[in-house]
Structure 1
Amino acid sequence: MARTRLLFACLALAAPIVPATAQAVPLPASGLVLSVRPEMGTLSTTVLTCEPAGGPHKNAKQACADLIPVDGDFTRMEPAADAACTMELNTTKAKLRGKWRGKKVVFEQVYSNPCVMRVHTGKVFDF
C-alpha cells in the first residue's frame, strides 16, 4: 500500500513536467526583403516570411519550401535540372536581405537573364 502511494505521488509530481518539456521550441523569425532588377525591365521588390510562410510574396509557401532544406543558404540550392532558358542577354540582379532563423543573411547575384535566375533560385525570386 505504501509503495502504491509513493508511485502515485511520483507520477503526480512528474505530470506537470511532461507537457512543458514536450513542447516544441519555436524557431526564431525568418523575414527577407527580396528585389529583382533586370537590365531591361523595372525593379521589383517584395517581402517573404517563413515558418510560417507569408508576406506579399505570391509564391511564399513554395519559396520557403525551397529555402528550408538549405537553411536559407542560397549557395547550397541546386539548379532546376529540367529547365531550359534562352540565351537572351538581360542581366538580372537578385538581392536578398534580412534574417533567417534569427541570423542575418545577405545574398546578391547577377544572372544572365531572369530565366537563369529562376533556375538557380527556385520560387524564391519568382514574385
Structure 2
Amino acid sequence: MAGLLTCAALAAAVPSGAQAAGAASELTLKRTVGGVSSSASLSCDPAGGTHGHAQEACELLARVNGDFKALAPSAGVLCPSAGESVRVSVSGQWRGQRVFQEETFANDCEVVRRTGVLFAF
C-alpha cells in the first residue's frame, strides 16, 4: 500500500502540462473587429501553422498552459479608452486537451497589451 501512496503522490506532484507536453497542440485563433473576422492556425511542439509569429505565440501559451486569459498584461502600456471592440477566441487542442476560450477587449491596444502577439495575424 505504501508503494501505491508514493505513486499517487508522485502523480500529484507532476504538473498537468508536463504530463501532456508531448501531446498535440493544434489551435485556431480568431479575431473579429466590426463584424470582420480573420483567423490563423497555430501548431506548437514544433511551432507552425499560418500564424506569422508561431514560435512566440506558442511560447506565450506554454507559460500559461494554453490559457490565454492567464497571460499577464504588458507593464507600462497605456491604452486609450476609445476604439472599436475586438472579440478573440482560441479553439482546438492544447497538448491533447480540448480548449475553447473567448474574450472581448475594448480595442486593439488592449488585445496587444493583454495577449502580446497571440492575435497579431
Q: TM-score range by the shorter chain?
A: 0.7 to 0.9
- In the alignment, structure 1 residue 126 sits paired with structure 2 residue 111: no
Q: Distance in 1 between matches of 2:76 and 2:120?
A: 17
Q: Runs of 4+ in structure 1 displaced over 4 angstroms?
A: none
- In the alignment, structure 1 residue 38 sits paired with structure 2 residue 38: no
Aligned-partner residue type, residue 34 of structure 1: L
Deviations 1:45-83 (A, max 9, x none): 110111111101001111011111111112321011132
Unaligned runs of 5+ in 2: 1-19
Q: Identity over the aligned pairs, expressed in percent? A: 35
* Contact map agreement 2:24 2:45 (CA 8 A) in 1: yes
Name the SS for the 1:79 alignment partner.
coil
Shift of 1:123: 1.2
Unaligned runs of 5+ in 1: 1-24
Partner residue, 1:56: 50
Partner residue, 1:98: 92
TM-score (norm 1): 0.74
Between the two proteins, the alignment pairs up a number of residues equal to: 102
TM-score (norm 2): 0.78
- In the alignment, structure 1 residue 83 sits paired with structure 2 residue 69: no
Residues 60-71 of structure 1 mapped to structure 2, 5 A cutoff: 60-71=54-65
Cα-Cα RMSD: 1.6
